[in-house]
Amino acid sequence: MLKTPKGYKFTALEGGFKYSGRDDLALILSDVPAVAAAVFTKNKFQAAPVTVGKEILAESHLVRGAMINAGLANACTGAEGIEDCKESLILAAKYLSISERDLLPASTGVIGPRFNMDRWREVAPKFKKALTENDPVKAAKAIMTTDKFPKLAWGEIECNGQSVRMLGMCKGAGMISPDMATMLGFVTCDAEVDPIWWQDALRRCINKSFNCITVDGDTSTNDTVMAFANGASGVKADDDATKKSLEDLLLDICQQLSYMIVQDAEGGTKVMHIKVTGAASDKDAELMIRAVGNSPLVKTALFGEDPNWGRIVAAAGRSGADFDPEKLTLSFGKIVVFENGKPVEGDMDALLEPLMRKQDVEVNITLGDGEGSSLLQASDLTREYININADYRS
């Protein structure tokens, strides 16, 4: 059963920014000021909500929540787009009886078009009434674009005899190969936390979750992950044991959400779990794992359930990683298919057929006896992915 953290409300409205007949505007609001942490895209073309969100957090780490719209990214819209973003916050804040600096903005959708601010003016008065609801699923659905399903994860831990809850949601299916976070993600927690530790914990968890996935090798202008902690549970994360338990839960939530993104993947049918070990450095392992996970040839072979190890070896060889080809060992699951510079003898296609039919496929690459390693979850590349993105703006 979905358990929401104490002191939060989740709601959604139909703004009509791009879509018709569906909710496309979500609000996450804490009853009291919450400590906010956030990690944003490194793309040089940063969307207006990213710029404005950074400005707000530079002033204070205490906010009340986030407002998210789907359909229009408000990216590459110049100074006018930033003013539109700020005006949308002013409109919402007016009817929520809070300051516009209490809300962090986030947007997702088509890059380029500006908001129709008349639509914001029409929908803003509805916020107050909508906050009588508390429906995280409705909010998660509202932030979807090409997603096939809403993505939520939640958990609960006991700290000194008291319960702490955490709930996360995200959207994302395409334009996924993060260098910070991925698309849009939001985590709410009812513990009381130190702002610096909370920010550092979020970064650490992102590096082990959202930064370890790829769908198509693309990153977005809007990528954002936010985490809020409002202290409503009465539990203070002020000792090492509580902090560790809380960070472990945050990591679990982030990993569940990031897996769902690869599982969705705009028509994806497979999740490839790639592991590189024995590299000369973590950087070398990262170069190789990205080359394999983002290779269209590897991904289409995965979709076709073809254990074409030659494509993986070729991607490894062009990755730029420093390694000895004679020492590379490649296996699907526990079945070794390539080592010592040549294929392992046997009817590998027949042996691997049951494994390749599964949704989750393990690919393990060992490069030698170095200490470098990396992990990545990658989707396959399907016909539906092409259809979705060929028609994305229509």
Give the domain ranges of the chain: 8-264, 271-390
pLDDT (0 to 100) of residue 8: 96
Q: Over pLDDT 70: what percentage of the chain?
A: 98
**Of 133-142, 156-165, 174-183, where does mean pLDDT reach its minimum?**
174-183
Asked if residue 258 has pLDDT above 90, the reply is yes
pLDDT (0 to 100) of residue 128: 85
First and final C-alpha spacing in the chain: 38
CB-based burial label for 197 (10 Å; 0-12, 13-18, 19+): middle
pLDDT (0 to 100) of residue 394: 54
Q: Over pLDDT 90: what percentage of the chain?
A: 80
What global pTM score does this model have?
0.90
Catalytic residue among 11, 77, 182, 242: 182
pLDDT (0 to 100) of residue 268: 85
pLDDT (0 to 100) of residue 384: 87
pLDDT (0 to 100) of residue 182: 59
Which tokens sit at 382? 């399907």
pLDDT (0 to 100) of residue 231: 97
**Bridging pattern class, strands 360-366 and 329-332:** antiparallel
Same fold? 8-264, 271-390: no
The CATH architecture of the domain made up of 8-264 is 4-Layer Sandwich (3.60)
For 18, phi then psi, to 5°, come to -140, -40
pLDDT (0 to 100) of residue 392: 66
pLDDT (0 to 100) of residue 224: 93
Residue 356 neighbours by CB under 8 Å, 6+ apart: 302, 305, 306, 307, 332
C-beta of residue 161 within 8 angstroms of C-beta of residue 173: no
Which CATH number is 271-390 given?
3.10.20.340
Asked if residue 142 has pLDDT above 90, the reply is yes
Q: Is 51 a catalytic residue?
A: no
Tens digit of each residue's pLDDT (9 = 90 or more) over 312-359: 999 999 999 999 999 999 999 999 999 999 999 999 999 999 999 999
pLDDT (0 to 100) of residue 129: 81
Tens digit of each residue's pLDDT (9 = 90 or more) over 191-234: 999 999 999 999 999 999 998 998 877 778 888 999 999 999 99
Tens digit of each residue's pLDDT (9 = 90 or more) over 44-103: 999 999 999 999 999 999 999 999 999 999 999 999 999 999 999 999 999 999 999 999
* Cα(13)–Cα(15) distance, integer angstroms: 6
Asked if residue 310 has pLDDT above 70, the reply is yes
